[in-house]
Amino acid sequence: NLWITDFAEKRTYSINPETGEELYSFKNPDQERGAKGLAWDGKYLYVMGWTTSIIYKIDRQGKLIDTIELKDIGAGGGLTFDGKNFWSPCGNRICKFSLIGEFIGAIYVASEGTWDLAWEPANNTYGGYLWATQRTNENWYDDEKIYKIEILDDTLR
């Protein structure tokens, strides 16, 4: 399935990627502030708080399993999972967090304002590429783009 979380509607949707048909949806765990950023570990969905540094671990029916607070660094607004760790925007960096929310590294952003992230597995040292959408499309006319980032060093603190 294709999964989409909508911060305005405060819902997560399961979509058939071949037909575009909505299969089902459920309310996001934080109905007051909403959520943005969605990751998948092969078993559970992880939805990032819109204005908080909390990741909500949920099953595919929307049942809350656990919460993970990203410690030490304020992060939020986007999320991806690289097979071992989470990545989330945090100011002028994109930060890497363990499965229990500990800050373990960072890289600089590709452009102004990271909006959301996705992970593409590949065959390099870190196991893939980070895709980032930036706010350039809002700040510069006709500048819609996404950035494919190869992570060579994530030891930025």
pLDDT of residue 125: 56
Phi, psi of 103, deg, nearest 5: -65, 125
pLDDT value of position 139: 63
Higher per-residue pLDDT: 141 or 99: 99
pLDDT value at position 74?
A: 72
pLDDT level of residue 138 (50, 70, 90 thresholds)? low
| Placement of tokens 């949707």 in the chain | 13
Around Cβ 86, how many Cβ atoms within 10 Å? 26
Residue 107 has pLDDT above 70, yes or no: yes
| Percentage of residues in the chain having pLDDT higher than 90 | 52
Instruction: Report the predicted TM-score, pTM, of the whole model to 2 decimal places.
Output: 0.88
Task: Identify residue 21 by its one-letter amino acid code.
Answer: E
- Provide the pLDDT confidence category of residue 106 given band limits of 50, 70 and 90: very high
Asked if pLDDT for residue 8 goes beyond 80, the answer is yes
pLDDT exceeds 90 at position 20: yes
Token pair of 93 as six digits: 């960096």
Does residue 27 or residue 135 have the better pLDDT?
27
For 137, the enclosing helix (H) or strand (E) is helix 136-139
What is the average per-residue pLDDT within 57-61?
95
Tokens found for residue 41: 């570990």
Half-sphere exposure of 26 (CA within 13 A, CB side): 14
- Residue 113 has a pLDDT of 77
Pairing of strands 146-150, 128-134: antiparallel
pLDDT tier at 58, thresholds 50, 70, 90: very high
